[in-house]
Amino acid sequence: MLTYAARAVSAAPRPELWSRLLDPASWPRWSTVDELVLERSEGLALDGRDGVGATRAFRTGKVVTIEGITALDPPRRFAYEGVRSALISDYVAVIELDETSSGGTVIRWSGSYTARWGTRWLMRRIMRGVMQRMADGLASCS
């Protein structure tokens, strides 16, 4: 099992970042994903505030990854798992948002996954970089 841990600090208040996590349509604006693929997603909320059980399909380049929300503890903890990915399996992740004393937010994005034998070193490097960019992108929302 491989792991990653990314951390970023945002000037934005925690509720604002929480809203962006719940709204999959916002992800292409701040994250590394290119598009929310509606026809492959399930259980999305019309108001952009997806709940536990929603399945989101995101396209990055030609690759579509499907992830399901597994737990929500508003506005602090957002957990999800990989339902379908071409490159990794057994993927679980948690995004934790903690308030700073100045009204901003500390973002901690961590996860674990399995990569196919022979790709582990590459996936470790890719996931660490991509997930840090995801946390940094969320942090830049304000």
How do beta strands 105-115 and 88-99 pair? Answer: antiparallel
In this predicted model, what pLDDT tens digit does every residue of 24-49 receive, in sequence order?
999 999 999 999 999 999 999 999 89
Task: Quickly tell me which residue has 């929603």 as its tokens.
Answer: 54
Number of domains in the chain: 1
The per-residue pLDDT of the chain, averaged, comes to 95
pTM for the full predicted model: 0.95
How do beta strands 63-73 and 77-84 pair? Answer: antiparallel
Q: Which residues partner with 87 through β-bridges?
A: none
Residues sharing a CB contact under 8 Å with residue 103, sequence separation 6 or more, in sequence order: 11, 13
Domain limits for position 10? 2-139
Average pLDDT over residues 83-100: 94
CATH number at residue 96: 3.30.530.20
Q: Which residues partner with 115 through β-bridges?
A: 88
Rounded to an integer, what distance in angstroms lies between the CA atom of residue 86 and that of residue 56? 15
Rounded to an integer, what distance in angstroms lies between the CA atom of residue 113 and that of residue 124? 9
